[in-house]
Protein backbone atom coordinates (compact mmCIF):
# COMPACT_ATOMS: atom_id res chain seq x y z
CA UNK A 1 0.00 0.00 0.00
CA UNK A 2 1.42 3.35 -1.04
CA UNK A 3 1.46 6.07 1.58
CA UNK A 4 0.01 9.37 0.40
CA UNK A 5 2.12 12.48 0.88
CA UNK A 6 0.72 14.83 3.44
CA UNK A 7 0.00 18.35 2.46
CA UNK A 8 1.47 20.57 5.18
CA UNK A 9 -0.72 23.57 4.38
CA UNK A 10 -3.88 21.46 4.41
CA UNK A 11 -2.80 19.82 7.65
CA UNK A 12 -2.16 23.23 9.19
CA UNK A 13 -5.60 24.41 8.06
CA UNK A 14 -7.20 21.31 9.51
CA UNK A 15 -5.51 21.94 12.87
CA UNK A 16 -6.58 25.58 12.73
CA UNK A 17 -10.20 24.51 12.15
CA UNK A 18 -9.96 22.08 15.05
CA UNK A 19 -8.77 25.03 17.12
CA UNK A 20 -11.78 27.05 16.03
CA UNK A 21 -13.98 24.12 16.99
CA UNK A 22 -12.39 24.27 20.45
CA UNK A 23 -13.26 27.96 20.65
CA UNK A 24 -16.86 27.22 19.67
CA UNK A 25 -17.07 24.41 22.22
CA UNK A 26 -15.67 26.69 24.91
CA UNK A 27 -18.21 29.41 24.02
CA UNK A 28 -21.09 26.94 24.30
CA UNK A 29 -19.75 25.54 27.57
CA UNK A 30 -19.47 29.00 29.11
CA UNK A 31 -22.58 30.66 27.72
CA UNK A 32 -25.22 28.08 26.70
CA UNK A 33 -27.01 28.26 30.04
CA UNK A 34 -27.07 32.07 30.02
CA UNK A 35 -29.00 32.62 26.81
CA UNK A 36 -26.01 34.48 25.40
CA UNK A 37 -24.65 31.63 23.30
CA UNK A 38 -25.40 33.61 20.15
CA UNK A 39 -22.17 34.54 18.37
CA UNK A 40 -23.32 38.16 18.17
CA UNK A 41 -22.59 38.51 21.87
CA UNK A 42 -19.03 37.36 21.30
CA UNK A 43 -17.83 40.62 19.76
CA UNK A 44 -19.61 42.75 22.37
CA UNK A 45 -18.18 40.75 25.26
CA UNK A 46 -14.71 40.59 23.68
CA UNK A 47 -14.50 44.34 23.19
CA UNK A 48 -15.73 45.00 26.73
CA UNK A 49 -13.25 42.49 28.17
CA UNK A 50 -10.40 44.20 26.30
CA UNK A 51 -11.28 47.44 28.11
CA UNK A 52 -10.22 45.66 31.32
CA UNK A 53 -13.06 46.96 33.45
CA UNK A 54 -13.53 50.14 31.47
CA UNK A 55 -16.83 51.25 30.07
CA UNK A 56 -18.24 52.46 26.76
CA UNK A 57 -21.13 54.79 26.09
CA UNK A 58 -24.30 52.75 25.77
CA UNK A 59 -24.79 53.97 22.19
CA UNK A 60 -21.29 52.71 21.30
CA UNK A 61 -22.04 49.31 22.85
CA UNK A 62 -24.73 48.78 20.23
CA UNK A 63 -22.10 49.10 17.51
CA UNK A 64 -20.06 46.33 19.14
CA UNK A 65 -22.80 43.82 18.36
CA UNK A 66 -21.78 42.98 14.80
CA UNK A 67 -24.02 41.58 12.09
CA UNK A 68 -27.40 42.66 13.42
CA UNK A 69 -29.58 45.74 13.14
CA UNK A 70 -29.27 48.54 15.67
CA UNK A 71 -32.66 47.56 17.08
CA UNK A 72 -31.49 43.98 17.63
CA UNK A 73 -28.23 45.20 19.16
CA UNK A 74 -30.24 47.40 21.53
CA UNK A 75 -32.34 44.37 22.50
CA UNK A 76 -29.20 42.29 23.18
CA UNK A 77 -27.62 45.00 25.34
CA UNK A 78 -30.88 45.51 27.27
CA UNK A 79 -31.21 41.75 27.83
CA UNK A 80 -27.63 41.36 29.07
CA UNK A 81 -28.09 44.37 31.37
CA UNK A 82 -31.43 43.14 32.72
CA UNK A 83 -29.91 39.74 33.52
CA UNK A 84 -26.90 41.21 35.31
CA UNK A 85 -24.21 40.45 32.75
CA UNK A 86 -23.66 44.10 31.86
CA UNK A 87 -23.71 47.05 34.21
CA UNK A 88 -25.24 50.35 33.15
CA UNK A 89 -24.49 53.57 35.01
CA UNK A 90 -24.46 57.34 34.62
CA UNK A 91 -21.67 58.88 32.61
CA UNK A 92 -19.84 61.24 34.99
CA UNK A 93 -18.60 63.30 32.02
CA UNK A 94 -21.99 63.66 30.32
CA UNK A 95 -25.16 63.53 32.37
CA UNK A 96 -27.22 62.87 29.25
CA UNK A 97 -25.59 59.52 28.50
CA UNK A 98 -25.11 56.16 30.17
CA UNK A 99 -22.10 53.84 30.22
CA UNK A 100 -21.93 50.04 29.88
CA UNK A 101 -19.31 47.66 31.26
CA UNK A 102 -18.96 43.96 32.06
CA UNK A 103 -20.31 42.86 35.39
CA UNK A 104 -18.08 40.71 37.61
CA UNK A 105 -20.44 37.82 36.80
CA UNK A 106 -19.83 38.19 33.06
CA UNK A 107 -16.11 38.70 33.59
CA UNK A 108 -15.88 35.37 35.42
CA UNK A 109 -17.76 33.54 32.63
CA UNK A 110 -15.70 35.20 29.94
CA UNK A 111 -12.45 34.36 31.71
CA UNK A 112 -13.64 30.72 31.88
CA UNK A 113 -14.31 30.84 28.14
CA UNK A 114 -10.90 32.39 27.35
CA UNK A 115 -9.00 29.87 29.45
CA UNK A 116 -10.74 26.85 27.95
CA UNK A 117 -10.66 28.14 24.38
CA UNK A 118 -7.02 29.22 24.45
CA UNK A 119 -5.76 25.93 25.83
CA UNK A 120 -7.77 23.96 23.27
CA UNK A 121 -6.71 26.22 20.43
CA UNK A 122 -3.05 26.05 21.45
CA UNK A 123 -3.20 22.26 21.68
CA UNK A 124 -4.73 22.00 18.20
CA UNK A 125 -2.15 24.30 16.66
CA UNK A 126 0.81 22.79 18.50
CA UNK A 127 -0.08 19.35 17.13
CA UNK A 128 0.11 20.97 13.69
CA UNK A 129 3.67 22.18 14.36
CA UNK A 130 4.84 18.76 15.53
CA UNK A 131 4.28 17.18 12.14
User: All domains of the chain, ordered by start, with CATH?
Assistant: 15-129 (1.10.10.10)
* Residues 36-53, mean pLDDT to the nearest whole number: 86
Query: pLDDT (tens digit, 9 = 90+) per residue, 51-94?
Result: 988 999 999 999 998 888 999 999 999 999 999 999 999 999 98
Query: pLDDT (tens digit, 9 = 90+) per residue, 15-26?
Result: 888 888 888 888
**Cα–Cα distance for residue pair 97/90, rounded to 1 Å:** 7
Flag whether the pTM goes above 0.85.
no
Q: Where are the beta strands (DSSP E) in 27-80?
A: 56-57
**Cα–Cα distance for residue pair 48/81, rounded to 1 Å:** 13
Amino acid sequence: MMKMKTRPLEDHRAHFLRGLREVDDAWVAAFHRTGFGDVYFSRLFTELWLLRGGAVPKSDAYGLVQGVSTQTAMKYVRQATAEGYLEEFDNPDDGRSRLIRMSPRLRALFDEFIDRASSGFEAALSSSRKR
